[in-house]
């Protein structure tokens, strides 16, 4: 029995270098900079601008940027809707969803998998 190591038999995750996976992971996790009082879009934006030469990191940083812009807008709408009492449920739902999806995307990036966030408006193509 022979083992083939052609491009067709190697999963996509194995084609992504360790450095690329780590930078993509950092692109997603950088959204947690918001806990320091800095908007969550700053981290992914910086990662995207600094890593445009790596296609995997660039794609994941843009995905993280689009996601964080979208969820910033959703959070603002939910916060404003507190006046209508709808925001009392919507704002915690937006925050928990944001937190969980950032963790999921980070794990996928660490494994070298491309991840597309749900509920994301594609502002940056």
State pLDDT tens for residues 4-29: 443 333 345 558 899 999 999 999 99
Asked if residue 47 belongs to a domain, the reply is yes
Asked if residue 20 belongs to a domain, the reply is yes
CA-closest candidate to residue 123, choices 45, 50, 35? 45
Q: Where does the pLDDT of residue 45 fall: very low under 50, low under 70, confident under 90, or very high at 90 and above?
A: very high
* Tally of structural domains, the chain: 1
Output Rg (C-alpha) for the chain, integer angstroms: 17
Domain around 46: 16-110
Give residue for tokens 């890593």. Answer: 51
As a whole number, the mean pLDDT across the chain is: 89
Residue 121 CA to residue 102 CA, distance in Å, equals 16
Strand residues in the chain grouped as ranges (E): none
Say what percent of the chain tops pLDDT 90: 85
DSSP H or E segment with residue 72: helix 55-80
Asked if residue 2 belongs to a domain, the reply is no
Which one is predicted more confidently, 65 or 16? Answer: 65
pLDDT at 113: 95
Task: Dig out the tokens for 75 from the structure.
Answer: 């959070």
Which one is predicted more confidently, 13 or 125? Answer: 125
């Amino acid at each position: 029995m022979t083992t083939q190591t052609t491009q067709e038999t190697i999963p996509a995750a194995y084609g992504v270098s360790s450095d690329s996976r780590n930078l993509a992971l950092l692109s997603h996790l950088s959204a947690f900079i918001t806990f320091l009082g800095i908007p969550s879009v700053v981290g992914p934006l910086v990662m995207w601008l600094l890593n445009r030469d790596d296609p995997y990191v660039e794609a994941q940083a843009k995905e993280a940027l689009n996601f964080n812009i979208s969820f910033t807008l959703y959070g603002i709408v939910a916060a404003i809707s507190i006046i209508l009492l709808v925001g009392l449920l919507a704002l915690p739902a937006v925050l928990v969803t944001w937190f969980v999806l950032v963790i999921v995307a980070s794990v996928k990036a660490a494994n070298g998998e491309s991840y597309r966030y749900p509920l994301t408006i594609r502002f940056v193509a």
